[in-house]
Structure 1
Amino acid sequence: MDDQAHAARAMWNQLHNLWQMTPKCQRSLSRMDQTLRQARKEIDWYAVLPAQAAQAVLKTYMQAWKNCWDGRAEEPTFKARIRSVMSVDIPQGRDLQIKRVHRRWGMANIPKVGRVRFRWTRDLPVGKAADKENRITGARLVKDALGWHIAFRVQTLELKPEPHTGLEVGIDAGVNLPLALSDSNHQDHGRAPRLPDGTADRDKLLNPDEKAKLLRLEQRAAHRKSFRKPRERNANRLRTTYDQIKQLRARATRRAVDWQHQTTTSLARTYGTVVVEALTITNMVKSARGTVEEPGKNVRAKSGLNRAISQEAWGRTVTMLTYKTARFGGTLHKVPAPNTSRRCSACGLIAPGSREDQATFVCKNPDCGWEGNADHNAARNILHLYRMGHALIPAAGRAVARRTRGVKPTTAR
């Protein structure tokens, strides 16, 4: 599977080079397909990748350009060996030959690999349960620091959900409090986001033993790295230490994604209308280092804040809420972000200095004096903007694209 993933990555890069070298008037899917077939005949190590998986690479590359032209993504780029996620597509579901061994494990056939077993985490339409309207259409193999995983593509017929009659809620995404709700039903993952010295905790989803192990591994890696000469390859022991660090990081990421899935599902079931801020996260996590002529201030503190924002993955939370609210018959709206954290939700006053610290909001109006959690105050302001009719309308092209994509298919990992 490693060989197939590397072959798929190399094929993507060669398709990208061919696309850039070909004049715009001669670019076409048929030309790319013909070149791909010829390359499989002339390059021996391409044979390790099944023909259908190679065609899937071409389709994925062309879809990436369509997403770019529609404004949904950036341009496709070169896939580096270190920074790229190793993955292989299995576009035909009939090739998998899935069989359930017992309650916890199942077996699947991987082309040019053989029979492998996978952890059975949710029901799949196999055997008598499979028909034309409910069946497995393919899968994707993905590798991370914890090993290989398989995600099945399931085609199923879902009835149009009834309109959700739940309450309205405003949600503010934060660092100290991951999700603050306007009705005080805040969602927290139960880990302290700050260390005793006030700095951000990068590993808040790891238990104390795992944090201690991670600290030992980082110290060991730093010690072994000190013996490496400039432009010299990492030693095997240093690479092994790096792999162990990646495993702990991947475990924390998996726990964060699991918490997001459970939390967003609960919110989509409970509330009929969910309102969030329209945040530009890429601008929020820009470095404050500045230039040589004009160096930035509080660079270290801003770096820790950027790292904490990236770990909370606010964009992924909004994406989950978008399709889950639609699945349960609800709606998700976005409102402008300016002044939601500075405005008093009780009297409406916007005054400087109301945020005495990161977690507390104190109204400067002598007749009001409201005091409370800053994220809770922002969540109430977000809901207020929606009720006042300030919800943003998405662009026409993106709105059409979201409607045509439909409900996100269920996957088993």
Structure 2
Amino acid sequence: MVRRQAFKYRIEPNGEQQRKLRQFAGMCRFVFNKALALQQVIYAAGEKYIGYVPMAKHLTDWRNGTETPWLKDAPVHPLQHALKDLDRAYQNFFAKRADFPRFKKKGQGDSFRYPDAKQIKLDQAGNRIFLPKLGWLKYRNSRPVLGIVKNVTVSQSAGQWYVSIQTEREVEISPHASPLAAGIDLGVVRFATLWDGQQETVLQPRGSLKRHQQRLAKALRQMSHKTKFSNNWKRAKARVQRINRQIANARNDFLHKATHSLSKSHALLCVEDLQVGNMSRSAAGTVEKPGRNVRQKSGLNRSILDQGWGEFRRQLEYKAQWAGGDVVAVPAPNTSRQCPACNHTHADNRQSQSVFLCVTCGHEENADLVAAKNIRERGLNLLKGPDMARIACEVNGATGPSAAGTRRSDEAAKAA
């Protein structure tokens, strides 16, 4: 199978290269915002949406015009890719997969992409990479780049610049060595509770934000006391960004290690199909209809988002595929309210956050473990359907994942 994988490194540009990096990111942001504004004007006039190809002709006019001739200083391919990003955002909006595209702000997600591999040169022995109009850039070579380079994305985070090198290579995926199928229940007190039919495994939460919350709050208070856009304010803002980067790095490290271990030890992983956006929605309400328990719900939302459930599932899906396994998404309703002994489902079965007590048969167990058992059982039942008939290997007597796991795309792989 073809594996697409990204390798991310921190680069060490000199002063001139840093200036160009900021310029190129700003120009791509300008092109994106200008095209979005043009689309809105066209829509207000009652005309149809402009696709990428006609919009690219506008980019040519902007580069050759008298108002924005400085766009020529940037390589053209990253500017064109900014228009492709806008076109994809519109397509996601039309398909109801995302909200309406919004204007980009300086300092938030600054990045640009070189999509043409012919213009990119990689010297792994010399720890450097060549990018058009930037020249050779030194990077911190922490691991080898495997495969053929397809494109490179340059991004900024907390004052540091990074390159993400996406590659493509052929790999052979053999059937998973483990016969185990596990159900995974995600939570706040327990990050994950696993049941493989024989034993329970509990992953305790890392709580990255909680560990650094006091430091972050102090840094935010200090920044709020500074005059906005002054040098002191910029230094305080950089301190806040460094703390946020430490929180994100710790969370990603925990998620990568957890998903790697699970994908190697289990052939089939059954997870809840959680709608994290809905679960973490604000309870503030409106002026006419104010919400209730807003403070408590805000703390719960913060804890939910600190776990990184969406990223956990994304990593688990492509890593399970790489290991020859599979991931099955199970509908979330009543997973912790159904008794695993008598199958009775009732809201009163869930006595508290951690206690499950069946009102019919009296079965008592940890509520998270009950959910993990039900998720596993439902996942195995889904595999028995005709749509999963092509999955060949046996998992605990039930149909399990195939070696290829071809029904998913491995395009979501990102660097650790």
Indicate whether 1:187 and 2:203 are aligned: yes
Deviations 1:253-285 (A, max 9, x none): 112112212211221222111111122222111
One of 118, 122, 132 as aligned partner of 1:111: 132
The aligned counterpart of 1:6 is 26
Higher normalized contact order (CA 8 Å, seq sep 6+, divided by chain length): 2
Q: In the comparison of the two structures, how many residue pairs are matched? A: 371
Indicate whether 1:362 and 2:356 are aligned: yes
Q: Is the 8 A contact 1:335 1:390 kept in 2?
A: no
The aligned counterpart of 1:275 is 270
Q: Structure 2 counterpart of 1:217, which letter?
A: A
**Per the alignment, do residues 412 and 326 of structure 1 end up closer, same or farther by CA in structure 2, a change over 3 Å counting?**
closer
The aligned counterpart of 1:325 is 320
Q: Structure 2 counterpart of 1:318, which letter?
A: R
Q: Is the 8 A contact 1:122 1:412 kept in 2?
A: no
Q: Is the 8 A contact 1:7 1:49 kept in 2?
A: yes
Report the CA distance between 1:157 and its aligned residue: 1.6
Q: Is the 8 A contact 1:64 1:76 kept in 2?
A: yes
Q: Structure 1 counterpart of 2:343, which letter?
A: G
Report the CA distance between 1:366 and its aligned residue: 7.3
One of 126, 145, 148 as aligned partner of 1:124: 145
**Per the alignment, do residues 236 and 117 of structure 1 end up closer, same or farther by CA in structure 2, a change over 3 Å counting?**
same
Q: Is the 8 A contact 1:99 1:108 kept in 2?
A: yes
**Per the alignment, do residues 340 and 149 of structure 1 end up closer, same or farther by CA in structure 2, a change over 3 Å counting?**
same
Deviations 1:211-268 (A, max 9, x none): 664454234234x15xx6xxxx443312321220121111111121122122112212
Report the CA distance between 1:47 and its aligned residue: 2.4
Rounded to whole Å, the distance in 2 between the matches of 1:297 and 1:62 is: 40
Q: Is the 8 A contact 1:203 1:252 kept in 2?
A: no
Q: Is the 8 A contact 1:146 1:250 kept in 2?
A: no
Q: Is the 8 A contact 1:361 1:377 kept in 2?
A: no
Rounded to whole Å, the distance in 1 between the matches of 2:337 and 2:166 is: 45
1:149 counterpart SS class: strand
Indicate whether 1:286 and 2:278 are aligned: no
**Per the alignment, do residues 268 and 353 of structure 1 end up closer, same or farther by CA in structure 2, a change over 3 Å counting?**
same
Report the CA distance between 1:93 and its aligned residue: 2.6
1:108 counterpart SS class: strand
Structure 1, unaligned runs of 5 or more: 126-133, 194-200, 395-401
Indicate whether 1:334 and 2:335 are aligned: no
The aligned counterpart of 2:398 is none
One of 185, 193, 200 as aligned partner of 1:172: 185
Indicate whether 1:235 and 2:230 are aligned: yes
The aligned counterpart of 1:315 is 310
**Per the alignment, do residues 92 and 390 of structure 1 end up closer, same or farther by CA in structure 2, a change over 3 Å counting?**
closer
One of 36, 45, 52 as aligned partner of 1:29: 52
The aligned counterpart of 2:393 is none
Q: TM-score, normalised by structure 1?
A: 0.80
Deviations 1:347-402 (A, max 9, x none): 434444544543x2131447534132x322211121122234499999xxxxxxx9
Q: Structure 1 counterpart of 2:172, which letter?
A: L
**Per the alignment, do residues 391 and 97 of structure 1 end up closer, same or farther by CA in structure 2, a change over 3 Å counting?**
same
The aligned counterpart of 1:63 is 88
The aligned counterpart of 1:159 is 172
Q: How does 1:361-380 map to 2 (within 5 A)?
A: 361-365=355-359, 367-372=361-366, 374-380=367-373
Q: TM-score, normalised by structure 2?
A: 0.79
Deviations 1:151-193 (A, max 9, x none): 001021223543665311111111111121124122235x4x5
One of 403, 407, 412 as aligned partner of 2:410: 407
Q: Is the 8 A contact 2:270 2:330 kept in 1?
A: yes
**Per the alignment, do residues 18 and 366 of structure 1 end up closer, same or farther by CA in structure 2, a change over 3 Å counting?**
closer
Moved more, 340-349 or 12-21: 340-349
The aligned counterpart of 1:221 is 223
Q: Is the 8 A contact 1:277 1:334 kept in 2?
A: yes
One of 121, 125, 132 as aligned partner of 1:97: 121
Report the CA distance between 1:74 and its aligned residue: 3.8
Rounded to whole Å, the distance in 2 between the matches of 1:265 and 1:31 is: 44
The aligned counterpart of 1:197 is none
Deviations 1:87-139 (A, max 9, x none): 0111223433221346xxx11123222322111132225xxxxxxxx411220
Structure 2, unaligned runs of 5 or more: 1-20, 388-404
**Per the alignment, do residues 31 and 176 of structure 1 end up closer, same or farther by CA in structure 2, a change over 3 Å counting?**
same
The aligned counterpart of 1:399 is none
Report the CA distance between 1:58 and its aligned residue: 2.3
Rounded to whole Å, the distance in 2 between the matches of 1:59 and 1:46 is: 17
**Per the alignment, do residues 50 and 185 of structure 1 end up closer, same or farther by CA in structure 2, a change over 3 Å counting?**
same
